[in-house]
Amino acid sequence: MMYPFSYKKIELEAQNFWYNHNCFEIVEIPNKEKFYCLCMFPYPSGNLHIGHVRNYTIGDVISRSQRMLGKNVLNPIGWDAFGMPAENAAKKNIVSPTDWTNSNIYYMYNQLKSLGFSYNWDRKITTCKIDFYRWEQWFFIKLIEHGVIYKNNAIINWDPLEKTILANEQVINGIGWRSGAKIEHRKIPSWFLKITDYAYELLRCLANIDWPESVKKMQVNWIGKYKGIEVSFKVIGSVPNCYSYLKVFTQRPDTLFGVTYILLAPDHHLVELAAQYNYQIKKLCNTFTFCGKCSLATLKNKELGLYVGYNVLHPITNEILPLYVSSFRYFEYGATASMGVPAHSHRDWDFANTYGLPFKTVVSDINGKVPDISKNAYTDFGFIINSGIFNNITCFEAFDYIFYFIKQYKSGVVKQKLKLRDWGISRQRYWGTPIPVKYGITGKQTPLTDEEIPVYLPKHGCLNSKFNLKKIPSFYVLGNGWVRDTETFDTFIESSWYYARFCCTDNNNSILDARVNYWLPVDMYIGGIEHAILHLMYARFFHKLMRDFGLVDCDEPFKKLITQGMVLTYTYYRESFGIKEWFNPLDVCLLKDKKNGNIIPTVKRDGGIVIRNGIEKMSKSKNNGIDPNVLINRFGADTLRLFVMFSAPTEQVLIWSESGIIGSSRFIKRLWNIVHTYIYISGSEHTIIKLSSLRPDQFNLYRQLQKTIKKATSDMIGRHVFNTVISTVMKLTNLVLHFIDIDSSIIGLAVTREALKSIILILAPIVPHITHVLWKVLGFSYAVIDAKWPSYNKHCMLGQLFTVLAQINGKIRKEIKLPLNYHTKTFASTILSSISIKGYLNCKEIHTLIFVHAKVINIVVSL
RNA sequence: GCCCGAAUGGCGAAAAUGGUAUACGCAGGGGACUUAAAAUCCCCCGUCUUAUAAGGCAUGCUGGUUCAAGUCCGGCUUCGGGCACCA
């Protein structure tokens, strides 16, 4: 029998209930155990995409299940509202960044609401609002006073045509994305936060947090602690005194005798000195590119390297070594000079080969054989050769011996270095938090006082397309010759402390208050794996700064982390005049070529052919985000939530495809029908189950129910694996479906009722709307949101038969059902005498018997 | 290039700790109900040999450890994420 089902009615009923009963307004309750669950807040890019749905459903499932465990759950949300896309949209569509952001927030707020997430909306944060960013300015002033912030030169991408600074994302293969111009690199003064001061603590504290190992590894490697020596080479010829020695860091001092040249980066001081007299060097320095994603092949381009005009002396052999500059800034970890050892480094081999520099082999292989370096460098370790008194020792011994030797001549020191660099936080952009600093007539920089902040970001009428605070004198001119800093903060600052502000969003008098120590640290933080390094490192660092200022008590902001795998889709583009236009997969039609069967993607709107770029994460810039609205309207919020959780385990990437959502929809309808069928048959009467009076098939259902609760509890609460929670509940539901057809006795119905109750409770965090209604249908007077997580009966799982596998040489030949307390020896003799096994053992000698209790007996025989 | 992951049927995937590979779902095939369609329900569904029974082969490729490997170790391939101004 079918019962009328309307997800729209169900959703409305549940959401109204939560709203009318203030279910998600939360206060601190000192004696109640707290649980702070947080999802990385979204950038209001226009609309949610499936990646958001996945992220926020995981957070909601965890929040709701923790609530069922009796905890006081904080589950806040907000908007990471400052950032570049608002400026880009403003330029493209002639709207103000404020209006664009606000309308996006309004739309996305409604989308989040429609999905039924249990957010504490009264604590919402919008980072572009003064009540949030004013505290950032306040804290910046404190940091400046304590010397954690300093000013230095930063290198930026300069678009000479647009006369603007571009983000890395906007530079594609050295070309500006809008203008198509070749991008130059310039140095400009910027503010830096001393994250390197906290590097060792950031490394050490990784041991105390429950994060995925992969993320910890990435952070360790990013901080990149490494050891080597810094060798001083004497510069030959007339240079200013301060330039008379060239310091070069190396991690391979054992190859010191193999140096045949020194390579300098374009921003090395000796190169800058040479550039004053040599136009070619100057030109090269102006156009150098970052190593980033370039390939080593670039090195082979002859125009990229030049002799600087200076030579140095080798500290031990006194050989004369030439200095070269490379436009290719490949120096690892920000070093500006490196030893050229072409025989033992692939990149030096390429460089020396291109510029005709000599090779000198100084390391043999592990057998003492001289390696062949005619086609490639030899980069492995072995024994030292061609190195005077150091010959015949191992590379590892040579590290110390060579270091001690050159130390005597004051030509080297051991250095522990970090790959991590300080955090440049200035941005030459409009849509961000204004930096609270002013400059006097002489250029003297002075942080503003507490009375002079907050500095409001001036409204932008979008009259011109240049978003730059430098163009708004009413903003920066302060009188008496003082002017404001016209730059804004990196938007990573906002996301580095918003989690703490959620504890006290209503406080207008201070940045944080005592409530942070009730809620922090965040018990569960959920976000995309793409934030594994930058955001998560900056937030950990910022937390430690706040701790050192007495604002928070704990050492780490996020106790446990789930990194959600990204939701990927195809990206499609069309190129005209070197500029790419990206098309949403929903706007692309896939046609089959009749001749060869190839798929041709075309734009639905105009039929033009587009190019498939690949499968990539859903993002605004590639326009491949799938809007969930279509699916919510067609199937309902519960179905979408269920499907997204069922499709793949949370940490795995998910290549989006909506085929299969129909299965989730069917399951929800089936559940609706079973519960109504049960009520139709049983009426409102129900009895209590006595285990001893259950028939075998009734007991079987009861036992499957206990198993399901056990599995669901460990997967939902312990492992946070939701797809298996759903599949195990589906299995039980199928069982109930058949059972209810056969057994409508009073006891049978009682077992059915128990099963339905647990199914609803287990599913309640995942599909909160339908379970809200079905719980009422089952006749409970309180709402399912206030129900407790089900517990299982351990005892009924004992005393059952187990399947033991009989294997011969690891191949399964027979399975036998045995009680758990069987005797191994009796079992062995029984199995060896069984006829089917005897057939396999014919005339073969038994070597060993391997027993794994309640699992396997493996009979190892000679072949 | 460097760092971190991933790879199992036609598809999404399951198998915590090494011990029945493919649970659950989608698609597909067949059937029931129906005037019909939709919906719902039932059966089949990795691959090869053979009518069946039965057996062989299968977890990206490759080599190893083990009585036993999807799972552990080594070497590759392909795909994804990050690489400091996308967030």
pLDDT at A615 (0 to 100): 86
If one compares A573 and A727, the residue with the highest pLDDT of the two is A727
A584-593, A628-637, A643-652, A670-679: the lowest-pLDDT one: A584-593
List, in sequence order, the alpha helices (H) in A176-325. 199-204, 213-223, 269-275, 279-286
Pick from A465, A437, A442: nearest CA to A452: A437
Let me know whether A576 and A713 are in one domain: no
Tally the C-alpha atoms within 13 A of residue A589's C-alpha that lie toward its C-beta: 11
* Cβ of A85 less than 7 A from strand B: yes
Q: What is the mean pLDDT of residues A96-101?
A: 93
Residues pairing with A414 in the sheet: A229
Separation CA A25–CA A119 (nearest Å): 8
Confidence of residue A300 (pLDDT cuts 50, 70, 90): very low
**Strand B nucleotides below 7 A of a protein CB?**
1, 3-6, 11-15, 19-21, 23-27, 39-42, 55-56, 67-69, 79-87
Q: What percent of chain A has pLDDT over 90?
A: 55
CATH number (domain holding residue A428) = 2.170.220
Among candidate residues A15, A3, A426, A356, the one with its CA nearest the CA of residue A189: A426
Residue A65 included in any domain: no
Q: What is the CATH number of the domain that holds A583?
A: 2.20.28.290
Is there a single domain that holds both residue A791 and residue A819?
no
User: Protein A863 CA to nucleic acid B37 C1', in Å?
Assistant: 62
Q: Domain containing A666 — which CATH number?
A: 1.10.730.10
Question: If you average pLDDT over residues A41-55, what whole number do you get?
Answer: 95
Provide mean pLDDT across the span A680-690: 82
User: CA-based Rg of chain A, rounded to a whole angstrom?
Assistant: 34
- Is A262 found in the same domain as A387? yes
Among chain A residues 567 through 626, which have CB within 7 angstroms of nucleic chain B?
Answer: 568, 614-617, 619-621
Contact A32, A83 (CB under 8 A): no
* Shared domain check, A733 and A749: yes
Position A797 confidence tier, pLDDT thresholds 50, 70, 90: low
The residue out of A370, A392, A415 marking a domain boundary is A415
Rounded average pLDDT over A571-595: 80
Q: Are A592 and A598 a contacting pair, CB within 8 Å?
A: yes
- Asked, for residue A341, whether it belongs to a domain, the answer is yes
Q: How confident is the model at residue A298 (pLDDT cuts 50, 70, 90)?
A: very low
A29 domain residue, yes or no: no
What is the enclosing helix (H) or strand (E) of A460?
none
Closest nucleotide over all strands to A41 (CA to C1'): B87
pLDDT of residue A710: 94
In this structure, what CATH number is given to the domain that contains residue A244? 3.90.740.10
Does A179 share its domain with A281?
no
For A680, the token pair is 């139709």
Give φ, ψ of A351 to 5 degrees: -65, -45
Contact between A415 and A227 (Cβ < 8 Å): yes
Label residue A778 by pLDDT band (50, 70, 90).
very high
DSSP string, A771-798: HHHHHHHTT-SS-GGGPPPP---SGGGS
pLDDT of residue A292: 39
pLDDT band (50, 70, 90) for residue A301: low
Angle between helices A7-20 and A637-647 (to 10 degrees): 100
Say what the pLDDT of residue A179 is.
Answer: 87
Q: How many residues does chain A have?
A: 863
Of A489, A517, A546, which one is at a domain's C-terminal end? A489
Residue A245 neighbours by CB distance under 10 Å: 17
Task: Give A550-560 pLDDT, tens digit per residue.
Answer: 999 999 999 99
Residues 125-164 of A with CB under 7 A from strand B: 154, 156-157
Task: Give the structural domain span for A773.
Answer: 657-796
Letter for the amino acid at A447? Answer: P
Three-state DSSP state, A424: strand
Contact A503, A520 (CB under 8 A): yes
Q: How is chain A split among helix, strand and coil, in percent rounded to 5?
A: 40, 20, 35
Q: How many domains does chain A have?
A: 5
Q: Please report the DSSP string for A317-384 in residue order.
A: T--EEEEEEESEE--GGG-SEEEE-TTT-HHHHHHHHHHT------B--TTSPPP--SSS---S--BB
Model pLDDT, residue A777:
94
Which residues in window 161-220 of A are less than 7 A from strand B by Cβ? 165-170, 190, 213-215, 217-218
pLDDT of residue A306: 85
Label residue A597 by pLDDT band (50, 70, 90): low
Structure tokens at A418: 């970090």
CA–C1' nearest nucleotide, residue A347: B1
Question: Do residues A733 and A667 touch, judged by C-beta distance below 8 A?
Answer: yes
Residues 6+ apart with CB under 8 A from A168: A157, A292
What residue ranges in A23-95 does DSSP mark as E strands? 34-39, 72-74, 78-79
The answer to whether residue A606 is domain-embedded is yes
| Residue A60 placed within a domain | no
Q: Look at residues A364, A383, A415 and tell me which one is the last residue of a structural domain.
A: A415
pLDDT at A207: 94
Q: Which pLDDT band holds residue A657 (cuts at 50, 70, 90)?
A: confident
Instruction: For residues A618-628, give the mean pLDDT.
Output: 87
Mean pLDDT, chain A, as a whole number? 89
Residue A209 counted as domain residue: no
User: Which of A61-70, A504-513, A671-680, A685-694 shows the lowest mean pLDDT across its residues?
Assistant: A685-694
Residues A726 and A788 in one domain: yes
Q: A282 with A340, same domain?
A: yes
Residue A690 included in any domain? yes
Same domain, A435 and A411: no
User: In degrees, to the nearest 5, what angle opens at C-alpha A498 toward C-alphas A494 and A502?
Assistant: 155
Residue at A744 is within a domain = yes
Residue A178 pLDDT class (50, 70, 90 cuts): confident
Q: Do A707 and A807 belong together in one domain? A: no
Is pLDDT of A290 > 60?
no
Can you tell me the mean pLDDT for A401-418?
A: 86
Above 0.90 for ipTM, yes or no?
yes
C-alpha–C-alpha distance, residues A229 and A247, integer Å: 10
Indicate which CATH number applies to the domain containing A808.
Answer: 3.10.20.590
A701-CA/B67-C1' distance, Å? 37
Asked whether the bond before A768 is cis by omega within 30 degrees of 0, the reply is no
Same domain, A734 and A832: no
Same domain, A342 and A431: no
The pLDDT assigned to A670 comes to: 94
The nucleotide whose C1' lies nearest the CA of A654 is B12
Nucleic strand B under 7 Å from the C-beta of A566: yes
Instruction: Return the SS3 of A157.
Output: strand
CB atoms within 10 A of CB A851: 14
pLDDT at A843: 67
pLDDT-derived band at A296, boundaries 50, 70, 90: very low
- Indicate whether A666 and A583 sit together in one domain: no
Q: What is the pLDDT of residue A295?
A: 36
Q: How far is CA A391 from CA A132, A344, A361, in A?
A: 65, 16, 12
Concatenated DSSP letters of A298-314: GGG-GGGEEEEEEEEE-
Q: What is the pLDDT of residues A109-166, one digit of tens each?
A: 999 999 999 999 999 999 999 999 999 999 999 999 999 999 998 888 999 898 889 9
**3 state SS of A620:** coil
- Amino acid present at A442: T
